[in-house]
Amino acid sequence: MSRGIKTMNDKPGILKFTGRYQCAADSGDGYADESDDFEAWEAYAELLENKDYPGLVAYCERVVARHPEDLYAQERLGDAYVLDGQYEMAIQAMGSIHRKFPDIDAFQHVILDALFALGKTEDDYEWVAAPSVLRLGKPVLDMCYEFLRPRRKPRDVAFLEIDLMRHGYLAFSCELLLNALLADSRFVVQPDRIPQLSQVRVRRKKEL
């Protein structure tokens, strides 16, 4: 289902980023044509799959030039800059959007991606609204425990990541999260060669 286009005239706090990496194509009259959404998505996905990051940047820049008020397109451009190693450009581009929409965490997260890639932290940026950054430790593992405790069946580590993302930016990889879960006796983990697909559940009292 197409998300359509959200614009900078929409009110902050109402915008919902329900997915990523969809592009709207220009129908030629200045408006996005939903019938072209799939073709635009294919072009984006192909560049991403082929890791043609310079091409991805060029593509996203063209989309933003056509639709400068499309916030999804702006976010994708920031992601493309990060993937292409243009970290300062990502910070600059997303910084201007962040100042207009300080409560949209998608733009905060692109800036954080770039900052961490440069060896910096969230303290090295002047935020309008400071982001929540989660670092791997007991509080994060406690959150995983509370998420899994009422559930009888194991869940993929990917589900844990999604739940944690509701609370802030994850300053750790899935591999590190999996290793921390393996080292914590409260969890029973079935590793997979793909960390996100590893299964995890809470250890029951009878298993202690």
The domain total for the chain is 2
Q: Which of 157, 153, 91 is nearest to 118 (CA)?
A: 91
Instruction: Say which CATH number the domain at 34 has.
Output: 1.25.40.10
Regarding whether 70 and 59 lie in a shared domain, the answer is yes
Whether residues 99 and 156 fall in one domain: no
- For tokens 């916030």, what's the residue? 71
Q: Report residue 15's pLDDT band, with 50, 70 and 90 as the boundaries.
A: very low
Domain end residue (candidates: 81, 113, 131):
131
Are 54 and 105 in a shared domain? yes
DSSP state of 119: T
**Position 145, amino acid:** Y
pLDDT tens digits along 98-140: 999 999 999 999 999 999 999 999 999 999 999 999 999 999 9
Q: Residue 32: its pLDDT value, please?
A: 43
Range of the domain at 10: 1-131
* 117 and 145 both lie in a single domain: no
Query: pLDDT band for position 29 (50/70/90)?
Result: very low
In 3D space, the residue among 169, 53, 71 whose CA is nearest the CA of residue 115 turns out to be 169
Instruction: Let me know whether 160 and 144 are in one domain.
Output: yes
Q: What is the CATH number of the domain that holds 158?
A: 1.10.10
Same domain assignment for residues 119 and 146: no
Q: Are residues 35 and 96 in the same domain?
A: yes
Q: Under a CB-based contact definition with an 8 Å cutoff, are residues 168 and 115 in contact?
A: no
Residue 76 and residue 177 share a domain: no
Residue 33 has pLDDT above 70, yes or no: no
Q: Which long-range contacts (CB under 8 A, 24 or more apart) does 42-46 make?
A: 44/76, 45/21
Q: Are residues 48 and 149 in the same domain?
A: no
189, 99: one domain? no
The count of C-alpha atoms lying within 13 angstroms of the C-alpha of 201, restricted to the half-sphere facing its C-beta, is 10
Spatial distance between the Cα atoms of 42 and 46, rounded to a whole number of angstroms: 6
- Do 187 and 200 fall within a single domain? yes
The domain boundary residue, chosen from 131, 155, 189: 131
Region 173-196 average pLDDT = 96
Whether residue 117 sits in one domain with residue 32: yes
